[in-house]
Amino acid sequence: MRLLFFGLVLISLLRAETVKVTAVPTTLPKNIQIPAVFAFGDSIVDPGNNNDLYTTLKCNFPPYGRDFMGGKPSGRYSNGKIPTDLIAKLLGLKELLPAYLDPALKPQDLLTGVSFASGGAGYDPITAQLVTVLGLPDQLNLFKQYIGKLKAVAGEERTANILSNSLYLVFAGTDDIAGTYYISPIQS
């Protein structure tokens, strides 16, 4: 079901991004406002959190990113934008959803959301441990850290509004199946 939903959302976003189809709404109704997008999960939504981790699961080198802005690799497991970039743009928040661990992240970037995802992560903590990446518990700890930083930038009231009205996305599971359960002898 998750793949079907993801596929339908991605197809709609890609159509809206490249063809500007009017049948696909590109704005929300006036009574609905989403102030930020937060992503957790694996490589599908990792915009570069693995770049500075001690892991072999990185993609901040060519040929990744050759069609990305400036033709430079960003750490996205893609040649261009990833689904969360498309969603953030569709919602009118920002062009790209940045990695929370990006050293160039500015305090203002926190207001409209970030991605905590780490390529190679899964629902099972063992999946992330096998390849030394940020598992979902690690990502949630970074989210707690993010909340403290957001309060410093936006104040208590605005932070509460952002957190309660934002879009939270979780994309994970394929690394659990592909790595932990089929390849690794740890889980049988």
113, 93 Cβ separation under 8 angstroms: yes
Please state, for a pLDDT cut of 90, what percent of the chain lies above it.
Answer: 46
pTM equals 0.79
Instruction: Give the whole-angstrom CA distance, residue 107 versus residue 97.
Output: 14
Query: Which residue is it, tokens 């969360």?
Result: 84
Residues sharing a CB contact under 8 Å with residue 136, sequence separation 6 or more, in sequence order: 40, 41, 121, 122, 123, 125, 128, 170, 172
pLDDT greater at residue 115 or residue 7: 115
In Å, how far from its chain's centre is CA 18? 21
> Which residues are part of the catalytic machinery?
43
pLDDT in tens, 130-162: 767 888 899 999 999 999 999 999 999 999 999
Instruction: Give the whole-angstrom CA distance, residue 177 versus residue 184.
Output: 10
Q: What is the mean pLDDT of residues 109-129?
A: 83
pLDDT of residue 11 exceeding 50: no
